[in-house]
Amino acid sequence: MVLILAATPIGRADDASPRLRELLGSADVVAAEDTRRLGRLASDLGVEITGRITSYFEGNEQRRTPDLIADLQAGSTVLLVTDAGMPSVSDPGYRLVAAAVEADIDVTAVPGPSAVLTALAVSGLPVDRFSFEGFAPRKAGERARVFGALATEQRTMVFFESPHRTEATLAAMAQALGGDRRAALCRELTKTHEEVVRGSLDELVAWVPAQEHGVRGEVTLVIAGASPEQREWAADELRALVDEQQATGISRKDAVAAVAASTGVRRRTVFDAAH
């Protein structure tokens, strides 16, 4: 009685792990986002799926979750796979995991390919701290509000996007985050036509319409975080930083100067906050 979330290749079938191959052939139930793509993957891997195959996608996951929980409670091993990457990361899976945890059912995962981590690794942007933001909102107003709220986010940000919305999303990012913000557009990662375009948001906005056939394939956008001077510091935060500096034994004046230098905030603003 165990639910297994298995990462599937994001491009090349031979990136599949040996454990994924083994479980595809041995699991009692294989729940797949797209059963046809599952069939192609199994064929590419030379695996015969002997368990029951059931579809589990955004349109039916709420209805199908109780059935899979029943299978698990009956002692079955249920393997959950999506079209590419790790289930539940911008893919179906969260509802089933939450229900399994609630039912005290063991949940584990088979690690493997991830578009998020692959894009981060090749982006050339800082990867020590990052946030995954999923797909940007489709509506322009909501999209602008989301990007506006992220304008001072200092972590590197990763987004998924569809090819036909990529240009509009990049333009909205440039407006909200600044056209000089560094970014990388990663498409068709690990596939034959893999491409990584690096530059400022303004440069990427100009790059998209220059493509003869437009942007094609799966798109992952990696956006640099805000530099420290772009962060909005609250007065109590600045005051606490000044106090920390002064506790080291330096004067109040020198502490103000040190905080101003490290945060990019004007010295007068830091002084007013500290006093």
Q: How many CA atoms lie within 13 A of 16 on its CB side?
A: 22
pLDDT at 246: 86
Can you read off the two tokens belonging to residue 238? 């600045």
pLDDT at 262: 66
Same domain membership, residue 250 and residue 206: no
- Alpha carbon distance 9, 115 (integer Å): 9
Asked whether residue 264 carries a pLDDT value surpassing 80, the answer given is no
Same domain membership, residue 43 and residue 123: no
Domain count, the chain: 3
Residues facing 199 on adjacent strands? 183
Asked whether residue 233 carries a pLDDT value surpassing 80, the answer given is no
Asked whether residue 212 carries a pLDDT value surpassing 70, the answer given is yes
The pTM (predicted TM-score) of the whole model is: 0.80
Domain range enclosing 67: 2-113
Same domain membership, residue 60 and residue 22: yes
Asked which of 77-91, 183-197, 204-218 is least confident by mean pLDDT, the reply is 204-218
Summarize the confidence of residues 199-218 as an average pLDDT.
Answer: 92
Same domain membership, residue 34 and residue 11: yes
Same domain membership, residue 123 and residue 108: no
Same domain membership, residue 244 and residue 219: no
Report percent pLDDT > 70 for the chain. Answer: 97
CA pseudo-torsion sign 5, 10, 11, 14:
negative
